[in-house]
């Protein structure tokens, strides 16, 4: 398995200047790193070292399945660009995914995509430092 830094470097090499700005402004390296370690370490180990002990046992198997799917998509470079959104996470799943990274939703806008699906544009705020990021999730109808 490639290291987190190797994957981030490869992703950065593929971005144009505008995408690089989105990459940084949306704290993608931080979010990517959290997703990478969640996948590498597994739920229990990740939760035992997390400042908020997330995820927790109140989350369902379906929630954990969505966490895994969302983390895999983030590690592959999805979510911070409208053109490459996360895909097929429920609203709850997307909110829990970002809760895992210590973000809370503050604003959401839904638009219809050309293919008839819906695109969620969600602004999240980091619960500790207050920084805001925007991520995208495409939902099939």
Supply the mean pLDDT for the chain. Answer: 94
What is the arithmetic mean of pLDDT over 16-35? Answer: 97
pLDDT band at 25 (very low <50, low <70, confident <90, very high): very high
Nearest Cα to Cα of residue 118 among 92, 91, 137:
137
Length of the chain: 141
**Residue 130 pLDDT > 90, yes or no?**
yes
Check pLDDT > 90 for residue 104: yes
pLDDT at residue 95, as a whole number:
96
Per-residue pLDDT band for 63 (boundaries 50, 70, 90) equals: very high
Element (DSSP H or E) covering residue 41: helix 28-49
Q: What is the pLDDT of residue 117?
A: 86
| Residue 51 reports pLDDT greater than 90 | no
């Amino acid at each position: 398995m490639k290291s987190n830094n190797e994957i981030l470097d490869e992703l950065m090499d593929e971005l144009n200047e505008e995408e690089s700005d989105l990459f940084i402004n949306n704290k993608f390296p931080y979010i990517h790193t959290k997703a990478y370690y969640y996948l590498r370490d597994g739920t229990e180990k990740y939760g035992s070292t997390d400042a908020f002990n997330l995820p927790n046992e109140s989350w369902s198997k379906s929630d954990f399945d969505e966490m895994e799917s969302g983390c895999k998509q983030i590690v592959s470079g999805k979510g911070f660009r409208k053109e490459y959104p996360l895909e097929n996470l429920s609203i709850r799943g997307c909110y829990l995914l970002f809760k895992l990274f210590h973000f809370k939703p503050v604003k959401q806008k839904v638009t219809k995509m050309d293919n008839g699906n819906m695109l969620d544009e969600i602004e999240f705020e980091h619960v500790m430092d207050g920084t805001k990021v925007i991520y995208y999730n495409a939902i099939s109808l």
